[in-house]
């Protein structure tokens, strides 16, 4: 009895140390398993005390702990297994991190109207009517234009707004996943040189692997003014267009209907025609935007307008925000009239270049299909 009291006193003295209880628990579990599975020839189960020997107030749990002190066979010690590694990962001393990939060198910028050289421009349309084009918001339209001064030729690619990419980080901001037009909303926030338009250029360049040399941005008001200055545009509607939910503002919609056949669009109706997408899809919307651009080109080259081009360009300075220099504008103004309609290729980032995808958050987006994109992006200087 004195020995039992001494043991209990020792347990109380070390009870705060959890390591002891872990050791005791593991030992009790291993010993119990050996005792139950060892058979009669290995160890004899201890004799339970007679029920009458238990105090009247004892609980079943207490009763289970009252056992005979009869002598039992001594069990052999259990050998501890030796831990063995399943593999190795060794960092070599003196290793240097891999540099960030550099985009391949694109054709040089032209120095004369006849080249050689190529210029890639990102044309952006932004939602809003304020003159501040550094507003916080996504780009509404993204068009990549390549002008080859030597051939001469031009290539036009509508970049799908729903293209899901890794938007690059800058400074203390890490890369994030999002739609490609998110870049315009982050430039000012990130403190990127050149603000929102410049960061959208950087985002598209990194996502598509092409060099983007210059950009031009126009908002809704500027777009309407430019079309009105041209005297409106004439387009041919193959089928009637009806949008039951064309947005007038954040909380108001209206029904938009354009009949089939030849129609004349002023600035306001041309904007509606270029923005509507409920009638079909965002792919149809991109086709209409390219149709507007081709109609504007045709109008600019018409005899009725060609002599007013210098005045129109002067007007465009106030409606369009761009990082083009005056000399570069002059080169474009000289080269574009030399490119006939047959020298312009038009491309859409549709299901020939992308596939539908649902993000973890439930957003319906598009993922790039490299095999479909590569031939088109090669026209803009991307590697094969």
Whether the CA torsion 130, 135, 138, 144 is positive or negative: it is: positive
**125: its two tokens:** 């349309």
Are 232 and 266 spatial neighbours (Cβ–Cβ below 8 Å)? yes
**Tens digit of each residue's pLDDT (9 = 90 or more) over 357-377:** 999 999 999 999 999 999 999
How far lies 187's CA from each of 133, 134, 167, 191, in Å?
A: 12, 9, 11, 6
Task: Tell me the mean pLDDT in the region 136-155.
Answer: 92
Q: What is the pLDDT of residue 84?
A: 57
Task: Tell me the mean pLDDT in the region 111-139.
Answer: 81
Task: Tell me the mean pLDDT in the region 318-343.
Answer: 90
Q: Which residue has the tokens 């003295």?
A: 13
Q: What is the pLDDT of residue 136?
A: 57
Q: What is the pLDDT of residue 63?
A: 42
Closest CA to 337 of 375, 290, 302, 377: 302
Whether the CA torsion 259, 265, 269, 275 is positive or negative: it is: positive
Task: Tell me the mean pLDDT in the region 153-162.
Answer: 97
pLDDT category of residue 78 using cuts at 50, 70 and 90: low
Chain length of the chain: 384
- Give CA torsion, residues 367, 371, 376, 377, to 10 deg: 70
d(CA 267, CA 124): 17
More confident residue, 359 or 131: 359
**Tens digit of each residue's pLDDT (9 = 90 or more) over 164-218:** 999 999 999 999 999 999 999 999 999 999 999 999 999 999 999 999 999 999 9
Q: What is the pLDDT of residue 104?
A: 58
SS3 27: helix
d(CA 137, CA 181): 9
pLDDT beyond 50 at 60:
no
d(CA 120, CA 110): 11
Q: Which residue has the tokens 């891999």?
A: 98
Distance of CA 153 to the CA centre of its chain: 32
**CB burial of residue 59 (10 Å; 0-12, 13-18, 19+):** exposed
- Which residues are CB-contacts of 233 (< 8 A; sequence separation ≥ 6)? 227, 264, 265, 270, 292, 295, 296, 299
**228: its two tokens:** 């009105």
Give me the CATH topology for the region 118-378.
Aminopeptidase (3.40.630)
More confident residue, 158 or 76: 158
Question: Facing residues of 163 across strands?
Answer: 366
pLDDT beyond 60 at 325:
yes
pLDDT beyond 80 at 319:
yes
**Tens digit of each residue's pLDDT (9 = 90 or more) over 3-24:** 445 554 544 554 445 454 444 4
Task: Tell me the mean pLDDT in the region 314-336.
Answer: 87
How far lies 1's CA from each of 4, 5, 71, 262, in Å?
A: 5, 6, 17, 111
Q: What is the pLDDT of residue 61?
A: 43
- Phi, psi for residue 232 in degrees, rounded to 5: 85, 175
pLDDT beyond 70 at 293:
yes
Report the percent of the chain where pLDDT is more than 90. Answer: 52
More confident residue, 262 or 249: 262
Report the percent of the chain where pLDDT is more than 70. Answer: 70
Task: Tell me the mean pLDDT in the region 119-129.
Answer: 89
**114: its two tokens:** 């006849």
pLDDT beyond 50 at 54:
no
pLDDT beyond 50 at 93:
no
d(CA 378, CA 384): 6
Task: Tell me the mean pLDDT in the region 229-249.
Answer: 90
């Amino acid at each position: 009895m004195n020995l039992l009291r001494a043991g209990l006193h020792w347990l109380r003295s070390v009870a705060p140390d959890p390591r002891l209880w872990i050791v005791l628990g593991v030992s009790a579990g291993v010993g119990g398993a050996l005792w139950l599975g060892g058979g009669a020839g290995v160890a004899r189960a201890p004799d339970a005390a007679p029920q009458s020997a238990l105090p009247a107030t004892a609980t079943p749990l207490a009763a289970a702990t009252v056992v005979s002190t009869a002598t039992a066979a001594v069990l052999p010690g259990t050998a501890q297994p030796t831990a063995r590694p399943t593999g190795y990962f060794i960092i070599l001393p003196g290793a240097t991190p891999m540099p960030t990939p550099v985009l391949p060198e694109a054709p040089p910028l032209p120095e004369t109207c006849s080249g050689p050289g190529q210029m890639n421009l990102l044309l952006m349309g932004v939602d809003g009517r304020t003159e501040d084009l550094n507003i916080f918001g996504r780009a509404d339209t993204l068009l990549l234009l390549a002008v080859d001064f030597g051939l001469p030729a031009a290539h036009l690619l509508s970049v799908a707004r729903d293209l899901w990419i890794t938007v690059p980080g800058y400074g203390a901001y890490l890369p994030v996943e999002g739609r490609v037009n998110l870049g315009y909303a982050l430039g000012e926030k990130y403190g990127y040189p050149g603000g929102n338009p410049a960061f959208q250029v950087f985002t598209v360049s990194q996502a598509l692997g092409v060099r983007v040399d210059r950009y031009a941005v126009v908002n809704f008001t500027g777009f309407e003014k430019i079309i009105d200055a041209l005297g409106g545009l004439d387009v041919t509607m193959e089928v009637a267009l009806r949008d039951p939910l064309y947005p007038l503002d954040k909380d108001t919609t209206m029904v938009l209907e354009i009949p089939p056949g030849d129609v004349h669009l002023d600035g306001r109706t041309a904007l509606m025609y270029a923005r509507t997408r409920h009638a079909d899809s965002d792919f149809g919307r991109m086709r209409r935007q390219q149709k507007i651009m081709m109609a504007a080109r045709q109008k600019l080259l018409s005899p009725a307008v060609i002599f007013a081009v210098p005045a129109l360009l002067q007007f465009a300075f106030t409606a369009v925000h761009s990082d083009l220099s005056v000399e570069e504008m002059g080169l474009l103004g000289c080269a574009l009239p030399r490119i006939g309609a047959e020298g312009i290729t038009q491309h859409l980032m549709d299901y020939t270049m992308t596939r539908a995808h649902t993000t973890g958050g439930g957003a319906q987006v598009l993922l790039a299909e490299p095999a479909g994109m590569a031939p088109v992006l090669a026209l803009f200087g991307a590697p094969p």
